[in-house]
């Protein structure tokens, strides 16, 4: 009987009726699975670290699908067994990450974090802050989450431009290509990063691109830390010329002495874009569809095209 492993008992308990011929079981990939030859789908834990765990995945000889809980997948592609497919968590964290992107922008522009420091000092300083409305927002990355981010910023009466690897028209928007970013940056008030980490996007936001941003611009990163040249960003922040609101960093987590702990004009959250009470129900929605596809012999969703020599 094919087994689908889930990393939490909560996911198994919340699944509901299981299709005939399928068994669900809890496995956190912290050790070898006793019935390894029966596993058809393995859903990885939400926070998956440690190279030793990949060996346990490779010990599943009949694995058909390795299901990630995240939209990003660059961290998993080198380790997928050659006989298995890889699927990402597209759709699970769209709303959560889009909310945080807007929240980070508002926290920085409206100085919400700074007002909390004022409160701790019992200081009542009703100073003027910057509005999000009427800002020119450039969203870099236009997958499902990028689209959700663009829609939410538009609701705040901003002028939104979207950018992706290739230019196209999609969802009633014109998508600009990465090559247009240096010119677009010159008129960008809020630069929102949600592009996947690839060879093309690593270091995409470098010193030159940061320098092209107008004085007072805000960089919001909910993508991956390596999309930004951290040293270049630190230099700009220390100059006071721009601001940053970061949910991701390079390295991650930040070591105790890292400059981003103390740079001015910086809002920092510890990679929590997809960490809300929606994660479990949205994950269950995807898991149910993947299990139904297994039971019915249909194609899985969200499958990533991998190099032929992966695994």
pTM given for the model: 0.89
> Does a cis peptide bond (omega within 30 degrees of 0) precede residue 251?
yes
What's residue 309's pLDDT?
41
What's residue 307's pLDDT?
67
What's residue 308's pLDDT?
52
Question: Please, what are the averages of pLDDT over each run of 10 residues along the chain (311 residues)?
Answer: 95 96 96 96 83 89 95 88 94 95 98 94 96 98 96 98 97 96 98 95 97 98 97 98 98 96 97 92 96 97 76 47
Among the options 90, 224, 236, 282, which is catalytic?
Answer: 224
Among the options 10, 154, 200, 252, which is catalytic?
Answer: 252
What's residue 127's pLDDT?
95
pLDDT tens for residues 46-89? 877 666 789 999 999 999 999 999 888 888 888 899 999 999 99
Among the options 271, 288, 289, 301, which is catalytic?
Answer: 271
DSSP helix/strand/coil, 88: coil
Could you give the C-alpha distances from 98 to 65, 102, 159, 193, 272, in angstroms and in order? 27, 6, 16, 11, 12
Q: Catalytic annotation on 176?
A: no
What's residue 52's pLDDT?
75
- Of 208, 278, 274, 292, the closest CA to residue 46 belongs to 274
Q: Catalytic annotation on 236?
A: no
């Amino acid at each position: 009987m094919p087994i689908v492993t889930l990393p939490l008992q909560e996911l198994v308990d919340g699944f509901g009726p299981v299709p005939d011929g399928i068994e669900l079981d809890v496995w956190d990939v912290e050790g070898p699975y006793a019935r390894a030859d029966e596993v058809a789908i393995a859903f990885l834990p939400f926070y998956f670290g440690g190279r030793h765990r990949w060996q346990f995945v490779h010990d599943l000889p009949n694995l058909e699908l390795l299901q990630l809980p995240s939209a990003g997948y660059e961290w998993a592609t080198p380790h997928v067994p050659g006989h298995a497919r890889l699927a990402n968590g597209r759709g699970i964290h769209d709303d959560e990450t889009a909310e945080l992107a807007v929240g980070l922008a508002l926290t920085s522009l409206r100085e919400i974090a700074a007002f909390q420091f004022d409160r701790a000092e019992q200081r009542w300083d009703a100073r003027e802050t910057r509005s999000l409305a009427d800002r020119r927002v450039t969203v870099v990355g236009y997958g499902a989450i990028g689209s959700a981010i663009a829609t939410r910023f538009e609701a705040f009466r901003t002028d939104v431009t979207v950018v992706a690897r290739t230019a196209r028209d999609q969802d009633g928007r014109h998508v600009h290509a990465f090559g247009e970013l240096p010119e677009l940056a010159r008129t960008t008030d809020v630069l929102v990063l949600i592009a996947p980490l690839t060879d093309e996007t690593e270091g995409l936001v470098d010193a030159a691109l940061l320098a092209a941003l107008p004085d007072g611009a805000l960089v919001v990163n909910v993508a991956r830390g390596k999309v930004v040249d951290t040293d270049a960003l630190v230099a700009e922040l220390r100059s006071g010329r721009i601001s940053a609101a970061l949910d991701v960093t390079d390295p991650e987590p930040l070591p105790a002495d890292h400059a981003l702990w103390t740079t001015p004009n910086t809002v920092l959250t510890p990679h929590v874009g997809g960490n809300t009470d929606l994660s479990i129900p949205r994950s269950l929605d995807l898991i149910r569809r993947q299990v139904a596809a297994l039971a019915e012999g249909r194609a899985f969703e969200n499958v990533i095209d991998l190099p032929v020599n992966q695994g």
